[in-house]
Amino acid sequence: MQDIDRKMKKRATIYDVAKEAEVSITTVSRYLNSPDSVKDETGDRIFKAVEKLDYIRQGNAGSRNGRAVGRVGVLTPFFPAPSFVDRLRGMTPAFTENNYELIIYTIETPEQLDEYLSSVPFTRRIDGLILMSVSLRPDQERKLNASGLEIVMIESDNGNYSRVLADDRSGGALAAELFCSRDYFPCVFMGDINSEISYSCHPSELRFSGFSEELEKRGRRIRDIMKADITVEDSQRVFSAYLEENPAPRGVFAMCDVQAVGIIKAARERGLRIPEDMAVLGFDDIESADWMGLSSISQHLGDSGRIAAGLLLEKMAGKGKAIQKVNLKVELIERSTT
């Protein structure tokens, strides 16, 4: 009868163990991964709590359990956006050389992010996690911390984790400097229509702020602001509709290269010459921007992926204990569209 009752009870979690042992979740996680890393007295309390609650360690608790190949998860809302692919290319060689395979998790809804954070760290047997362009709530951070996984972020300036960032605001200011030096006025800006997505970072807003603030300092202003999805098709549609109602601007700054391509297609459909009639500047400097001749603000996507991979490998090897913040400088790359 007691065995039946035990099976009917809800399985104990790491939170239950921490409460019973009167320690933090982080301490329990550290003990489960490396018992020698906590004091003997603390370890004894955690051990007794585990035994009392019949706690079953899941997923990443403990070592890689003899697996020949390790696994690293990459969590992102924007797969397969070109900027994501370029970052992935940057990190893949480092993980391959160190015998880790990559598992990609894509987020399409807030509920899906919650599900991933509740299940992936504990049940999918990954050894580390990179969060790319993901914004976390405090309760979601607690779930991640409870897993004991090593975490590195890209594009999210979250002070609780090591992270790799690009200065989006400075990139916008560089665009404004270029437009003022060439007198690309009147000018317009195309931003991201998805700026309300709660689980994602929103670089479009920072890029716009840097652009508009620098223009204001120089006594210039943006004529119009429009928003589109981050696809060539939607950007082309939005800009085509704009040109039906308004005269063509002298310059367009798009929050990403993908949008810039859609803008160029819409302009050429109307016989506008690039850059003689209308200059176009993108942001990201994705791989295809070079062979397309697209001027762009580079945030060194490949480097950000490579550096994030290096930070995570150090952490998984026990060498990178401190939280690190890496700021990558942005750079104007001029080609044939400006």
Measured between alpha carbons, how far is 114 from 157 in angstroms, rounded to an integer?
Answer: 20
Among the residues of 168-231, which ranges form H helices? 168-182, 203-217
What pLDDT, on a 0 to 100 scale, did the predictor assign at position 66?
46
Q: Is the pLDDT of residue 9 over 50?
A: no
Burial status of residue 200 (CB atoms within 10 A of its CB: 0-12, 13-18, 19 or more): buried
Measured between alpha carbons, how far is 37 from 53 in angstroms, rounded to an integer?
Answer: 22
Q: Is residue 332 part of a domain?
A: no
224 and 282, same domain (yes or no): yes
* Distance (Å) of CA 257 to CA 217, 278, 281: 26, 16, 8
Domain that holds residue 90: 70-165+302-327
145 and 189, same domain (yes or no): no
- pLDDT confidence of 36, banded at 50, 70, 90? low
Q: Is the pLDDT of residue 320 over 90?
A: no
174 and 293, same domain (yes or no): yes
Report pLDDT digits (tens) over 295-305.
Answer: 999 999 999 99
118 and 209, same domain (yes or no): no
Number of domains in the chain: 3
Contact present, 230 and 192 (Cβ < 8 Å): yes
Q: Is residue 64 part of a domain?
A: no
127 and 232, same domain (yes or no): no
Q: Is the pLDDT of residue 79 over 80?
A: no
Report pLDDT digits (tens) over 265-285.
Answer: 999 999 999 999 999 999 999
Three-state DSSP class for 327? strand
Look up the CATH number of the domain holding residue 42: 1.10.260.40
113 and 45, same domain (yes or no): no
Of 38-52, 217-231, 242-256, 264-278, the range with the lowest mean pLDDT is 38-52
Measured between alpha carbons, how far is 285 from 297 in angstroms, rounded to an integer?
Answer: 6
Q: Is residue 269 part of a domain?
A: yes
Highest mean pLDDT among 26-35, 98-107, 178-187, 194-203: 178-187
- pLDDT confidence of 307, banded at 50, 70, 90? very high
Q: Is residue 146 part of a domain?
A: yes
195 and 156, same domain (yes or no): no
Q: Do the strands 331-333 and 295-298 form a parallel or antiparallel pair, or are they unpaired?
A: antiparallel
178 and 159, same domain (yes or no): no
Q: Is the pLDDT of residue 49 over 90?
A: no
175 and 293, same domain (yes or no): yes
pTM, 2 dp: 0.78
173 and 245, same domain (yes or no): yes
Contact present, 210 and 170 (Cβ < 8 Å): yes
Mean pLDDT of the chain: 88
Look up the CATH number of the domain holding residue 109: 3.40.50.2300
204 and 223, same domain (yes or no): yes
Q: Is residue 336 part of a domain?
A: no
124 and 231, same domain (yes or no): no
What pLDDT, on a 0 to 100 scale, did the predictor assign at position 61?
42
Report pLDDT digits (tens) over 92-122.
Answer: 999 999 999 998 888 888 888 888 887 776 6
Q: Is residue 63 part of a domain?
A: no
Measured between alpha carbons, how far is 202 from 195 in angstroms, rounded to an integer?
Answer: 6
